[in-house]
Structure 1
Amino acid sequence: MSLAITTLIMVMLPTTTVLSSYVASQVATTTAATTLSLEREAKALLESGWWSSYSNHTLQRCNWTGISCNDAGSVIGILPSSHVIKVGDKFKNMDFSCFPNLVFLSLSGHELNGATEDFMFNISHLSTITHLDLSFNILHGPLSPRISNLTQLEFLDFSYNQIHGFIPINIGKLKNLVTLLLCHNKLFGSIPSTLGKLINLETLDLSFNLLNGPISSTLGELINLKTLDLFNNFLNGSIPFTLGELTNLETLDLSNNFLSGPIPSPLGELTNLEILDLSNNFLNDSIPSTLFQLSNLVSMDVSNNYLIGPIPSSLGFLHKLEKLLLGFNRINGSIPSKIGDLKTLRVLFLQSNLLEGLVPEEIGDLEALSLLDLSQNELSGPIPPQIGNCFKLEELDLSNNNLEGLIPYQIAELQHLDRVDLRNNNFSGVIPFTFLRFGNYFHASFTCDETNSSVFWEVFGGNKNLTPYFCSPATYSSVRKSYNLQIFLPVSVLVALFLLGCLLFLWRNEVKVNPTSVLQATTNGDLFSIWNYDGRIAYEDIIAATNDFDIRYCIGTGGYGSVYRAQLPSGKVVALKKLHRLEAEEPAFDRSFRNEIKFLTEVRHRNIVKLHGYCLHKRCMFLIYEYMERGSLFFILSDDVQAVELDWTKRVNTIKSTAYALSYLHFECTPIIVHRDISSNNILLNSDLEAFVSDFGTARIIDPDSSNQTRLVGTYGYVAPELAYTMVVTEKCDVYSFGVLALETLVGKHPAEILSLLSAPSSLQTIMLTDVLDPRLSPPTSQLVAQNIVHVATIAFACLQADPKLRPTMKHVSQMFLSCQRSLRSPLRTISLLQLLNCGMHMEGSSQAPQF
């Protein structure tokens, strides 16, 4: 037995030796193969020309900028920085066959300008790649069918290129795809039905293309879909009922197409839906009541269609709704009283329909409401006084209805209201005295018959029974009773008393104002007009409040005068801008001073500083403003303590307020007014840190029939670059200055360094947004705050484009701020300034900022 075992061992020894030798040789071969493979990867990277500066460091390729490796040292990710690496049309130089383990490839914003077919030929064999991002380039030609070879893809982004042609049918082979972004291209043809095979898809964005034909019903098979964006195409036909099967859908945007037919009632089964936009189509029939039971809905926009029927009373279930836009349809019936249940509603647009009946008093329950438009309907009855409970209301349009009765004084007591239109109704009685407090709409001269006033007609015109007089709240109450009893004698008496009051007012002017000053003002043809809500501010009160403009009351010095703080006998605090006597003798300063009066007495907006009065006289020239307790934005940003108090939300609101004011100047003033000196010094903040545009000394009216050439004015660092060589002022000059201001507010200081890099945008690739945000504030932890910051930054870069024609208008900017913002797809820390710049360049025509 022992001999047998010994013999067996002796027989096995050679075999074991051979096996060991074989294994050793295989390991050596594998090691050699691996080493060779890694060397090929390094060689391919160098030969591409993208990493030429690393030629002496091939062994450290995993540490190269934009290169990621696995544990074995093989390249699995290529994300080059355009700050270090310029790709351009050199992508053909890269031999992608050398990267068998490549998983992640992102060349977004690298100015790739070749044909997509050539590029796909190079990468179509990458069987392991899961993430491919070629967005924000200049790729052209059709989307290559070779894309279907990348069967492991989970993320595919070709957005913001110049790709045309059809969407390949075989794209349906990418079964693992989760995100597909083809927006902002020139794709045409129909949406292929094979997209319905992408069962793992969560985001599909085909917006801003030239797609036509019907929406494929197979999209209803994408059961995991959360976002479906098909807006701004040429799609026609009806909306497929199968979309009602997308129960995970959160955003559905089919706006700006040529869709027709009814809104499918199965859409009411999308219980996770937050944003629904079907606006600007040709949809007809009634709105399904099931849509008004989507309890997670935040925004519903079905405006500009041909919808009919009543508004379902079930809308009271929309407890999270912030925007309801049903305007420009043929909706009839009355406004449901359940509207008052929408406690979070901020925007309600029902204009240009066939609505009738009363304005429900339950609208007064909408405490979050900021925009209300019920114009161009057939509404009747009085305006409910409960509307005065909408404390955040900024715009109110009830024009072109059949409303009647007295105008409630509560409307003008709404502190945030800056725009109101009550024209073309059947109102009667007198105008409540409280309207004198309504922004800059009315000043002291508007206390008597104003039938010829353009201001009167802009707000109250077309109400033939409305008396153009103001009366006090107490008088208003008496008039209401008299009106209800149809007793006109007391009204006549009140009017007579009011006229007597006007005479007494004028007599007090004669007595109280310094006779010498008045005489000189009349003799020299100068102007003297000072007022407040109660009637007037006496000249001597101003002199006494400042001790004849003593230096102790001076709080700042402006471009052509000093600013004083004055507390009047009534307790009211005002700011006085006084032109120095020597400067008053200079024609240029005098022109600027009068220019500021001219504009501020004509404009009226809640975010434009209020002018309470002025005195133009050789001995004394000053303006009286609403006092802004917190001073200028520049002052706040320069102070570390106050800068922290101006948190991210307040900064975003400051930027928005400035945008709304500029939009008003550019689009609602006739003729257009260009400010020409938007800077942080000219944005003032009150005690609540609300922003107001000030200093109209350099403002200018734009005449469409003239060249509008001008001398260079404005604050250095904010002036639009084209003014240096064209000297032609346009509203786009203000847009550029606004862009600088917006960035400054986020950064906490003037963004001179960022502005200097705009001429070499690739340098912005490695600069993250979080790197430049004001370090005195903690990074935003709220998703909403983060997306607001990204939203503002994107708009700012859009406003800073060198070509003024490419900058958005301030009206467009305002619309962007009012639009629903979508959640960030990427963490805030991963968003670069180059991405923001590229997104800003593609904003034109869109009501929403691009999504990150």
Structure 2
Amino acid sequence: MMRKKLLLLLLCFVSFHETIVVFAVQRPVLSPISSPFCPGSEEHRRMSLSKKMLIALSVACSSLGVIIASLFCLWICYKKNSLKPLKNNANSSVYEDGFQGGFCFIYGLQDTCRSYQQVSSSNILGIGGFGCVYKAQIVDGSYAAVKKLECSSHDAEQEFQNEVDLLSNFKHPNIISLLNFSSYNETRFIVYELMQNGSLETQLHGKRTKKLSSFNLSQRRMKVAMDIVRGLVYLHEHCNPPVIHRDLKSSNILLDSDFNAKLSDFGLAVTDAAQNKNNLKLSGTLGYLAPEYLLDGKLTDKSDVYAFGIMLLELLLGRKPVEKLAPAQYISIITWAMPKLIDRTQLPNIVDPVIKNTMDLKHLYQVAAVAVLCATGTKLSSVDNRCSPLPYSSCSYGAQRDLKSWKNCSPLTRKAKTYLVQS
């Protein structure tokens, strides 16, 4: 609406300007008797005509300058109105009138990144369901990650809006930071801080190289586990309303240059209030889906806790959440590991060999107990016993802590420590 008013005003101004110019250059109609009786009339007419032409040119040039300035102002207003600030409201939308315009792409992405050409195949960091993530240099000389989404479907568009809306309101050291976002036709761009060490999935299941050798310490892996816990507790307990990630997995845990872990990819995330009102379709990744959610669609924050338990097993055992045994046969990590996790004699034999010698047995038993408790969900009746991982993860991570302090911990922690002291 703002743009229509500006355009109408500009057209009226141009029409008025043309009228002035035509009036200024129009030759005056002289009286036929003025010529024979006024000897200097011809010279006077020439001087008057020159002055009028000069005035007309001055008016035309100044008017042209005003038109150009008006067009520039119109262009600036168009860009600024193309990208509205987000509201902290579950019903708000990241779109306002004009967001679909091409200028928004220039305003959003090229003001952040040095060039559009950086978003090319040579700079790919990863590939997801709806697009790719690229490495790009931003205007201050540092680097960022740019996710390029092709939003030709309603689901892709909804995920883009959801992620931008949530990330714009998050502020936590273990949640990925949103730097900018943009739109161009059906293509969407989200600009994040760059995480130099990639994803947890790459570190655990990528090719074993010298580059990944720095992740072969149990202390570093447990630090990553605690970072994930802190991010989850922020979502579940400090956001209002609480947020359920719904797609927590190792590929969505990103690591910076110091191996600090941050949760990312909030396209499928929902607020606790929203998921109670809407019938959400089953979404997530095989191997990380909690049984109660997979069987009857019951989604709570315990679903994220289950996924954390699976990732804790990945960190401990070095195995993928689902392993392929044969062309058409698969087995989940929880099915394979559960009998061995509850047997102290077998547990040391299934630990990831690269961290086996960096972890004492007491610490190993504690971490295994936490993983079992988080992933205890084979029966729906046990879901209520699966609670926030922070209390018992913090207790289990500190191997030096005295087990006699169990009375101050949650019931779930006491269950874990009861398991730990059993022979």
Q: TM-score, normalised by structure 2?
A: 0.65
- Is residue 2:376 matched to residue 1:801? yes
Q: Displacement of 1:514 after TM fit?
A: 7.8
Cα offset for 1:741? 0.4
**1:524 is matched by which residue type in structure 2?**
G
Q: CA RMSD in A?
A: 3.6
Tell whether the 8 Å contact from 2:194 to 2:256 is kept in structure 1 after alignment. yes
Deviations 1:597-634 (A, max 9, x none): 11111121101111111114535411110100111011
Tell me how far apart the structure 2 counterparts of residues 770 and 818 of structure 1 sit (CA, whole Å). 17
Aligned partner of residue 182 in structure 2, secondary structure? strand
Give the whole-Å Cα distance in 2 for the aligned partners of 1:811 and 1:548: 40
Deviations 1:443-468 (A, max 9, x none): xxxxxxxxxxxxxxxxxxxxxxxxxx
- Give the secondary structure class of the aligned counterpart of 2:134: strand
Q: Given that residues 595 and 696 in structure 1 are in contact (C-alpha distance below 8 angstroms), is that contact kept between their aligned partners in structure 2?
A: yes
The answer for the alignment partner of 1:697 in structure 2 is 267
SS at match of 1:629: coil
The unaligned stretches of length 5 or more in structure 2 are 1-71, 84-95, 323-331, 405-409
Report if aligned partners of 1:579, 1:621 keep a CA contact under 8 Å in 2: yes
How do 1:807-826 and structure 2 match up within 5 A? 807-813=386-392, 815-816=394-395, 821-822=400-401
For residues 474-532 of structure 1, what are the alpha-carbon distances to aligned partners after superposition, in whole Å with 9 as ceiling and x for unaligned? Answer: xxxxxxxxxxxxxxxxxxxxxxxxxxxxxxxxxxxx88x988766766643459999xx
Deviations 1:720-758 (A, max 9, x none): 111122212100000000000011011112254541147
- Superimposed CA distance per residue, residues 2-34 of structure 1 (whole angstroms, 9 cap, x where no aligned partner): xxxxxxxxxxxxxxxxxxxxxxxxxxxxxxxxx
Is the aligned partner of 1:729 residue 2:308?
no
Change in 2 beyond 3 A, CA 1:792/1:514: farther
- The answer to whether the 8 A contact 1:719-1:737 is kept is yes
2:207 corresponding residue in structure 1: 639
- AA in 2 matched with 1:665: L
1:792 match: 367
Distance 1:767 1:596, change over 3 A: farther
Task: Tell me if the contact between 1:546 and 1:564 (Cα under 8 Å) persists in the aligned partners.
Answer: no
Distance 1:754 1:619 in 2: 39
The match for 1:776 is 354
Aligned residue in 2 for 1:237: none
Counterpart Cα distance in 1 of 2:289 and 2:194: 27
After TM superposition, the runs of 4+ consecutive aligned structure 1 residues lying more than 4 A away are 513-523, 525-530, 751-754, 761-764, 817-821
Q: Which residue of 1 aligns with 2:173?
A: 606
- In the alignment, residue 547 of structure 1 is paired with which amino acid? Q
Deviation at 1:793, TM superposition (A): 2.0
Residue of structure 1 in register with 2:145 after alignment: 575
Q: Within the alignment, does 1:682 sit opposite 2:216 as a pair?
A: no
Correspondence list, 1:355-366, <5 A: none
Deviations 1:634-682 (A, max 9, x none): 1111231244311111100000000110011001111110001111100
Conservation of the 8 A alpha-carbon contact between 1:667 and 1:811: no
Q: 2 CA distance for matches of 1:763 and 1:603?
A: 36
Residue 233 of structure 2 corresponds to which residue in structure 1?
Answer: 663
Question: For residues 594 and 758 of structure 1, do their structure 2 counterparts lie closer, same or farther at Cα, with a shift above 3 Å needed?
Answer: same
Distance in 2 between the 1:644 and 1:588 partners? 39
Cα pair 1:614 1:623 within 8 Å, conserved: yes
In structure 1, C-alpha distance between the alignment counterparts of 2:155 and 2:349, rounded to whole Å: 43
Quote the Cα distance in structure 2 between the aligned partners of 1:593 and 1:689. Answer: 27
- Change in Cα spacing, 1:566 to 1:804, as seen in structure 2 (3 Å) is same
Report the structure, 1 or 2, having the larger strand content: 1
Cα separation, partners in 2 of 1:714 and 1:751, compared to 1, 3 Å: closer
Is the 1:815–1:847 contact (alpha carbons within 8 Å) kept by the matching residues of 2? no
2:190 corresponds to 1:623: yes
Cα contact 2:366–2:397 (8 A) shared by 1: no
Give the TM-score of the pair, scaled to structure 1. Answer: 0.34
Query: Helix, strand or coil: the match of 1:805?
Result: helix
Q: Spell out, residue by residue over 1:305-364, the C-alpha distance to the aligned partner (whole angstroms, 9 max, x if none).
A: xxxxxxxxxxxxxxxxxxxxxxxxxxxxxxxxxxxxxxxxxxxxxxxxxxxxxxxxxxxx
1:384-426 Cα offsets, whole Å, 9 max, x none, are xxxxxxxxxxxxxxxxxxxxxxxxxxxxxxxxxxxxxxxxxxx
Quick check: 1:742 aligned with 2:312? yes
Question: Which amino acid letter does the alignment assign opposite residue 261 of structure 2?
Answer: A
8 Å contact kept, 2:133–2:145? yes
Rounded to whole Å, the distance in 2 between the matches of 1:629 and 1:568 is: 15
Question: How far apart are residue 792 of structure 1 and its match?
Answer: 2.3
* RCO higher in structure (CA 8 A, sep ≥6): 2
| Structure 1 Cα separation of the partners of residues 275 and 187 of structure 2 | 37
Counterpart of 2:119 in structure 1: which amino acid? F
Indicate conservation of the 8 Å contact 2:123/2:134, yes or no: yes
SS in structure 2 at match of 1:844: helix
* Corresponding position of 2:36: none
**Structure 1 position 563 matched with structure 2 position 133:** yes
- CA distance in 2 between counterparts of 1:569 and 1:740 reads 39
* Contact kept in structure 1, 2:196 and 2:255, CA below 8 Å: yes
Q: Secondary structure at the match of 1:658?
A: helix
**As a proportion of its length, which structure holds more helix?**
2
Distance 1:518 1:824, change over 3 A: closer
Cα deviation for residue 707 of structure 1 reads: 6.1
Q: Counterpart of 1:564 in 2: which secondary structure? A: strand
Aligned to 1:585: 152
Residue-by-residue CA offset, 1:694-724 (whole Å, 9 max, x unaligned): 0001001112993664211111111111112
Identity of aligned residues (%): 28
Amino acid at match of 2:348: T
Count how many residue pairs are aligned between Structure 1 and Structure 2.
315
Secondary structure of the 1:698 match is coil
Preserved CA contact (<8 Å) 1:820 1:848: no
Residue number in structure 2 paired with 1:4: none
Aligned to 2:246, the other structure's residue is in SS state coil
Q: For 2:194 and 2:365, how far apart are their aligned partners in 1?
A: 32
CA gap of 1:747–1:577, structure 2 versus 1, over 3 A, is same
Paired residue type of 1:593: F
Q: Give the Cα separation in 2 of the matches to 1:799 and 1:654.
A: 16
- Cα distance in 1 for partners of 2:118, 2:258 equals 30
SS at match of 1:725: helix
User: Aligned in 2, Cα 1:744/1:589: closer, same or farther, shift over 3 Å?
Assistant: same
2: CA distance, partners of 1:629 / 1:715 = 24
Please give the alpha-carbon distance, in whole angstroms, between the structure 2 residues aligned to 1:644 and 1:548: 30
